[in-house]
Amino acid sequence: VIADFDGTLTRYRVNGVRGQSSHGILQQGNADYDAKREALYEHYHPLEFSPVIPLEEKTKLMEEWWSKTHDLLIEGGLTFDAIKDSVANSSIAFRDGVALLFEFLEEKEIPVLIFSAGLADVIEEVLRQKLHRTFKNVKIVSNRMVFDDDGRLVSFKGKLIHVLNKNEHALDMAAPLHDQLGVDNGGEGEENAYVKQRINVLLLGDHMGDLRMSDGLNYESRISIGFLNDNVEKSLESYRKAFDIVYLNDAPMWGALEIASQLFPSEES
């Protein structure tokens, strides 16, 4: 199973208003640096959706945005405690049924790759606090932080993942959950072999670009589920053509769970 995070596993609207993203909830405990990151968002976010900027140029702009943001997080002294506090104080919420879907997939030993251009450490904390448990079969493909002994952010490791390249090097970036979670998934080579053996893909996303998340895998069949959260009337036809199944707004995850269940019929049947 390959899933986008924000707006796919999480709710697009919470209590009637636009929900927070895993990147947007982060408060680093320094108002000046929070403001600087917000200013970067105001500048680059419109460029991300500009229809006139060529892809190559837009990719460079996204790399620029992410790099500057990561530098501000380091320079501003982000701590792991600040991440925990940010999640605790956030309104981010999962779609109904996500926990049951993950529990079913864990029971059946199906690997789940969560792709995000955000921050792996924040997503892991959201899983811990909002679902109140972790899953040994879930790997986060996202930007991962390195903290010093005092719990202060000192660097990022691995390839920079932004909104336009999160499908690249998926197998290499598919990292197990933090050691501190008590999860032992074996070595990285073992992980990649485990994923490469899988020839059938269930893909969950809320943007057309999410369909490319499976590009790095040599699969034989794929079922794609699209979650259309906004501009439904304008986008419904294109989503119907692109995805095998489309759910509107903050539909629960029951449909995906039903499909997964049908792929694993009970012994009695």
What are the residue numbers of the active site? 4, 6
35-48 in b/e form (b: 16+ CB < 10 A) is: ebbeebeeebeeee
For the CA atoms of 255, 96, 102, 164, the dihedral, rounded to the nearest 10 degrees, stands at: 80
Beta bridge partners of 152: 79
Beta bridge partners of 144: 157
Q: Among 103, 111, 100, which Cα is nearest to 137's?
A: 111
What is the residue whose two structure tokens read 């864990």? 106
